[in-house]
Structure 1
Amino acid sequence: MPANPKYLNPKFSHRLATITAAIFGGLLVTLSFHFALAVWFDQVTVIITSTFTAFILWVVLMMLAFMAKNGLKIWGIYLLVTLIFSLITYLGLPS
């Protein structure tokens, strides 16, 4: 059964933005989140648990990106969240 055309986005740029946001943006958010956890908490524990939680978080972020109507908007959200987690990581590093 084919998809209903009214739910498909006909513009190639929006599809490309959604796909890249799902794959690369979700990965950026996932990695920056786990880096921030590793800086503030026990690194060994975070590394062990991140083998499972990183994949789960990445899949959830991919699904959220595909549910969004605008790929550029989700890219902006993912980059903002990555910047926040990177700032948290930077503030937690020892001087």
Structure 2
Amino acid sequence: MPANKKYLTTSSWQRFAKISAGIVGGYIISALLHIALAFWLPNPKMVLITSVYTLYMLWVAIIILSFLAKNGWKLWALYVAIILVFSVLIHFGKLYNPVN
């Protein structure tokens, strides 16, 4: 059964934005989340060991969720905001937990 045409994205730029946000932005978000957890949790080695598996599972979930968005550029804005939040968490994790 083919998809209903009214639910498909007609703009190629929107399609590109969703695909690139899912692949590139999703991977960056997944990696930064695990790095932030490594800085904030007491056992960073355990986080990095389990991140081998959970990073890709989270990345796939973010790729799937990116196709549910209506506007790819708003999705990119959301992903950039999340990336900045995780970057700030990593920065403060380095400042307040310098042992790691």
Q: TM-score category by the smaller chain?
A: over 0.9
What residue number does 1:90 align with? 91
Identity of aligned residues (%): 43
- Give the drift of 1:2: 2.2
- Show CA shifts across 1:4-57 (max 9, x none): 110111111100000000100101110110110111122210111111111111
Is residue 64 of structure 1 aligned with residue 65 of structure 2? Answer: yes
- Give the drift of 1:68: 0.8
1:32 maps to amino acid: L
Alignment map for 1:73-88 (pairs within 5 Å):
73-88=74-89
Count of aligned pairs: 95
Q: For structure 2, which runs of at least 5 residues remain unmatched after alignment?
A: none
Alpha-carbon distance in 2 for matches of 1:77, 1:20: 13
What residue number does 2:24 align with? 24
Using the size of structure 1 for normalisation, the TM-score is 0.93
Is residue 35 of structure 1 aligned with residue 35 of structure 2? Answer: yes
Q: For structure 1, which runs of at least 5 residues remain unmatched after alignment?
A: none
Q: Which runs of 4+ in 1 moved over 2 A?
A: none
Alpha-carbon distance in 2 for matches of 1:67, 1:46: 29
Q: Please state whether the residue corresponding to 1:69 is helix, strand or coil.
A: coil
